[in-house]
Amino acid sequence: MDVDRRCSGRYHGATLRRPTGGPLLASTRGDGPLYANLYASLRRAILDGRMKPGAQLPSSRALASDLHVSRNVVLLAYDQLVAEGYAVGRHGSGTYVIDELPDALPRQSTRTTPQHIQPARLATFGRRLLETSDIVPPALAPPRVPAARYDFTYARAPLAHFPELTWRRLHARRLRAPDRHWGRSLPAEGYLPLREALAEHVARVRGITCEPQQVVIVNGSQEALALLTRILIEPGDEVVIEEPHYVDARRTLLLAGARLRAIEVDDQGLMIARLPERPVRLAYVTPSHQFPTGAVMPLARRLELLAWARRSGAYVVEDDFDSEYRYEGRPIESIHSLDDDQRVVYISTFTTVLYAALRLGYVVLPPGLLQPFTQAKWMHDRHAPVLQQQVLADFLNEGHYERYLRRARVRNTARRAWLLEALSRECGDLVRVAAPGGGLHLLVWLPTVDVSDLVPLTAAAGREGVRLYPVLNHYLRRPPAAGLLFGFSALDERGIDEGIARFARVLRTFARPTSRGAGARPSMAS
């Protein structure tokens, strides 16, 4: 191991045990800087009583040699122990555990072990959070395993052609501007020039006629849905959601206390004929690129959905999260553009188009919902970041957004075609691709794999350096077949080829005859 590592470097680290092989004494293992990991391990040893009061710490040179790190790592850790009152340095003698810990410091004798911690008395919302914590989509959840070399994530915007220099220049120009709106608060609705630019944008590309006053800027589409549930849903209200669906939407609705009615999706989107005729509070749909199947709802079915909403008294939440990425056929009018009854709420986001850290989205509201929604937004977080709103407005008004989208579509079209070809070449009849007309991912059915084998298959692929995303979490019920989501924006052509080749080798070990028969196309509707 290199003994000249920088003291702030990150790696798995080393450990030092007692000569008898006893408990851990010191360790640099962890995800943080080496000195911080070493400090934390020594602090635990002092509090746990493994290092007794008055005991001398190993010399910095000896400990550095034993752990194979720079001496500076040990000196920084010791300095931190002394600064926080756990140890004392004696000139010419060394560093010692303090003789008596101050009363303010936690002690082993008074520490509560995890199994004896009293559970917090949570409100209903807190309990629902814990009950739904296991349904976060894996592409958005913090990784629990080392990063895979071939990660087919579907939740990452393509950054290869993002005009970073232009974005920085716009930021710098706004920071130099004498009238710095970013130095004071905005109305809850957001920066007016951005709302005006978005009203013009949705009119041009999605056929939506609205006033800038109907556009509210939010911190991503998830916040928009969360605020809508606060003003529209009472606990116990029935809400329609697609089956399969976007997992975080399901969780948001459950947190509001909604009773979910999952309506199956076929190759034309939500199956309107299966909608309940009784009163329903809200329907959450992704009609322009159904997530995760990719199905596009045709015009006739959109009109049927609006007629149903009129009869049932439901609001329709139209999540148009990635309609900009369409590669086949002509764009279809948004449901909002067809709505004459002011029952459609249109949501979109820039997170999946520009870059993930840009937590900006927008919602186009019916006039009747504008006041309660903006007041809810004000109480929630006042408004979205001002500087980012200003830069995004400039990015739209100066044509950078349209130019970037054109380049991104060309690149994504090529990556998508490359992935389709790789799947066909490596997997053949072992896979079937559903509705590959848009978005940043493909839904790939595995007709010769049992649904119960999806988790072990995913784990086996992970051991080969390939991270996969099963459809399991996107269903309330058991999926009709085994399926995986393959994103194509985060890998280059070489990565796609190698990743699919490794996946295919794993897939063959799980392939088996099924009741559907090899090569059969699974139905998306149960």
Cα–chain center distance at 468: 15
* pLDDT for 493: 93
* pLDDT for 140: 52
In angstroms, how far is the first alpha carbon of the chain from the final one? 56
* pLDDT for 138: 56
* pLDDT for 50: 85
What secondary structure does DSSP assign to 319-338, as a single string? Answer: E-TTTT-B-SSPPPPPTGGG
Residues 6+ apart with CB under 8 A from 455: 470, 472
- CATH top class, domain 15-110: mainly alpha
Q: Which residues of the chain have pLDDT under 70?
A: 1-25, 102-118, 134-147, 155, 157-160, 178-184, 328-331, 435-437, 514-526
DSSP lists the bridge partners of residue 432 as 445
Phi, psi of 357 (to 5 degrees): -75, -15
Domain boundaries, the chain: 15-110, 145-159+408-510, 164-402
CA distance 430 to 432: 7
Over residues 261-320, the pLDDT tens digits come to: 999 999 999 999 999 999 999 999 999 989 999 899 999 999 999 999 999 999 999 999
Over residues 25-39, the pLDDT tens digits come to: 678 787 778 888 899
pTM (predicted TM-score)? 0.74
CATH of region 164-402:
3.40.640.10
CA dihedral (226, 387, 352, 491) positive or negative: negative
CATH of region 145-159+408-510:
3.90.1150.10
